[in-house]
Amino acid sequence: MSDFWSIYIILFVVINIAGNAWILFALRKNPEESVEEGEELAHEFDGIRELNNPLPRWWLWVFAGSILYAIGYLILYPGLGKYPGVLGWTSIGQFEEEMAQAEARYGPLLKEYAAASIPDLLDDKRAVAMGGRLFANHCAACHGSDARGGKGYPNLTDGAWLYGGEPATIEQTILYGRNGMMPPMGAAIGGEEVVTKVAEYVLSLSGREHDAELAKLGEPTFKTICAACHGPEGKGNPMIGSANLTDNTWLHGGSVETIRETIRHGRMSKMPAHIDLLGKEKVHLLALYVYSLSQPESSESMESR
């Protein structure tokens, strides 16, 4: 903060406190000395007449106490520009102190869990619950509190994975993130008419209702151009995160209009890296929870939580 803004804030705060103190002092007596206390003043609105009464003493003392409290607070804590306060408190300092306390308390337990494999921890209810709390704090904003995702955000409970659902792969995804891209293919495959044919063929791959004639016409284009990423059978490629088009699971929506839009304009998806935010030990527990969500043998325990 520059000296100018520091001085500006100090003056603003001091003038406000001083102004409130002056108002309090000025209103401690009757508003009109020429009118006896309790008598009516020449003020009336909507049938309400004002009486010449001072403010209640208890209210004045509460107001005065709040001013004294504000002065004491600004002496002890930062609030006057660059002045750090007598106690030297900062929000960053408090955060670091609380994090150090949490590390001292939970660090040994996290290290113990980090040394075990995710499949071995699957039956450890406490470990899975810890991962669930991490999920609620850091992942539910995108994937939902029930981890079922939404448009553009994967459902983590259905067993369908773009990059693979093995524990190590899930952990890598959370640690380092993913950058998914479906390039716009509208112009490359030949315009809107061909886009429609390919979209109908894509619908046919998952057994959905489609125009069989158009799908047959779109098949050669798919196998010539789209199969490079999605494979000749449309089953995708976990190595590059290309979608399996045969399982009827759709990240951005599976209507024919949405499929045409995806082919025409492409899609961009980003899963942020969490290694700096959480560290490897917490990510290990988080990956454990995510892995447990799609395991049939864990469904009963998941429901109980």
Least trusted range by pLDDT, from 38-42, 81-85, 255-259: 38-42
Please check whether residue 255 is in contact with residue 151, taking contact to mean a CB–CB distance below 8 angstroms. no
Provide, rounded to the nearest whole percent, the portion of the chain with pLDDT above 70.
Answer: 95
With b meaning 16 or more CB within 10 Å and e meaning fewer, what string describes 77-110? bbebbeeeeeeeeeeeeeeeeeeeeeeeeeeeeb
Which band of pLDDT confidence, cut at 50, 70 and 90, is reported for residue 292? very high
Average pLDDT over residues 173-194: 93
pTM equals 0.72
Q: Which architecture, in CATH terms, is 99-177+272-304?
A: Orthogonal Bundle (1.10)
Which band of pLDDT confidence, cut at 50, 70 and 90, is reported for residue 34? low
Domain 180-271 CATH superfamily: Cytochrome c-like domain (1.10.760.10)
Collect all residues with Cβ–Cβ distance below 8 Å to 260 and sequence separation of at least 6.
Answer: 195, 196, 199
Residues of each domain in the chain carrying CATH 1.10.760.10: 99-177+272-304, 180-271
303: pLDDT strictly greater than 80: no
Q: How confident is the model at residue 280, as a pLDDT?
A: 95
Mean pLDDT, the chain, whole residue set: 90
205: pLDDT strictly greater than 90: yes
304: pLDDT strictly greater than 50: no
Report which of 173, 171, 167, 116 is spatially closest to residue 295, judged by C-alpha positions. Answer: 167
Q: How confident is the model at residue 273, as a pLDDT?
A: 97
Give per-residue pLDDT as tens, 126-135.
999 999 999 9
Least trusted range by pLDDT, from 35-49, 53-67, 230-244: 35-49
Least trusted range by pLDDT, from 30-34, 176-180, 182-186, 196-200: 30-34
